[in-house]
Amino acid sequence: MQNPVRAVVVSVPRNSGYSVHSTEDFMRRISLALVASVLAFPLSAFAQAGTAAKSAEPFKVGTFRINNVRTVGMVLRDSLVVDLVQANAALEKSRSFPARRMPSDMVELIGEYENGLKGRLYAIVNELVQSKSLEGKRPGYVRELQEVQTLAPIPRPRQIMMTAVNFYSHIAESAPADQRAKAIAARKANRGVPYMFLKAPSSIIGTGETILMPHGRTQLDWEVELATIIGRPARYVPAPQAEAHVFGYTVMLDISDRGGRPPGGFSSGTDWFVMKGQDTFGPMGPFIVPKEFYGNPMTDLKQTLVVGTDQRQQSDSSDMIHSVWEVIEYASSLVTLQPGDVIGAGTSGGVGMGTSVRGSQLWLVAGDEITATIDKIGTLRHKVEAGPVPPAGTGAYLPPVATYRKPQQ
């Protein structure tokens, strides 16, 4: 919104009776009035646009199924879900704000956030807080979190780029202690550039959904990690400027099939698609925290993973090899990142294939319950179940691991 500043010329008649001192006083009063009007302008401009400069409370955003309709909403106090379409309609009616269409999905919300939508969401929060509509009897568009189904915040991301072995504690987890120490020292001496791989968008599921073990795939592993959500297009973005391209952060599980490929045929080493890309291998959520409400992941990140009652991973950003910002710099040198793209920061030591923590490998089994938490974002909860036996094929299915690998003794 552009508002021209007009020059004001005040003339004092020669025979008006004003002295030099009274004229100076008059001019001083005019100057103060002009300054006051200029200072008041931003507040009135926000009001006229139906936006706010600050939010009375922090919030998260998510995707929900409400009355069998997929809906984008805000989460307040980690317990209340605000339907954006209905809340915005009520605000426009009560405050006579100009009409603004609410986003139909999370990617649209992310793309419009810095184009005026953020200020409107702030205004909705402020209205709810100031009117005490979050307490006692609440409007119909504010629901208890347990009353709605929480879906993955971005059910089908355009692109998911994950970072392999980006925590020192995850280096050579299955190697003898002396070899592992040498590998860690070598990586510290030469960090190189991040190693990234793609994860299939169809692998994404929301909190509470079931992780399916494909038939006969008995070496499933867990990895908890911070996922950064891109907010602005990014191509060749230096690390110091990367945060400006971030919308927010969420929790991801990078479920991994360590069973590999059967012998024979073409092979060029690890089959990353088999390992990372299968259905339900990408739990995400429960919500996205906009960056202004999270802080700096390179100082604030704390993540844990528990299977049943057994804590299997715990880490913070001090263990990271490449910072979140360096990972974005590298990713943006490969492809143009777009709003809603997901960038995984990598996981720490304590995964199932490693022997350095527990002394032997340990895999997920049907019936396991996974709880993955990142402080200030939230917790994913998932049960593991065996997938169905597939119908007869011609031999081109990915076969059970037991048909080509001997079981561990």
Domain boundaries, the chain: 60-151, 160-390+397-403
Report phi then psi at 230, rounded to 5: -70, 140
Which residues have a Cβ under 8 Å from the Cβ of 224 and sit 6 or more positions away?
Answer: 251, 252, 253, 254, 303, 304, 305, 313, 347, 348, 372, 373, 374
> Alpha-carbon distance 130 to 56, whole Å?
9
How high is the pLDDT of residue 268?
Answer: 83
Dihedral angle sign, alpha carbons of residues 133, 138, 142, 143:
positive
How high is the pLDDT of residue 217?
Answer: 97
Residues 206/387, Cβ–Cβ less than 8 Å: no
Query: Which tokens sit at 205?
Result: 């599921």
Number of other residues whose CB lies within 10 A of the CB of residue 311: 12
How high is the pLDDT of residue 28?
Answer: 63
CA atoms within 13 A on the CB side of 306: 10
CA dist 208 → 239, 276, 338, 371, 380 (Å) = 35, 20, 28, 10, 7
How high is the pLDDT of residue 40?
Answer: 45
> Alpha-carbon distance 88 to 109, whole Å?
14
Which residues have a Cβ under 8 Å from the Cβ of 28 and sit 6 or more positions away?
Answer: none
Superfamily name with CATH number, domain 160-390+397-403: Fumarylacetoacetase-like, C-terminal domain (3.90.850.10)
Per-run averaged pLDDT (10 residues), the chain, 409 residues? 42 47 56 48 58 97 96 98 97 93 97 97 97 94 97 98 98 96 97 98 98 97 98 98 98 97 90 97 98 97 98 97 98 98 98 93 98 98 97 95 80
> Alpha-carbon distance 168 to 318, whole Å?
9
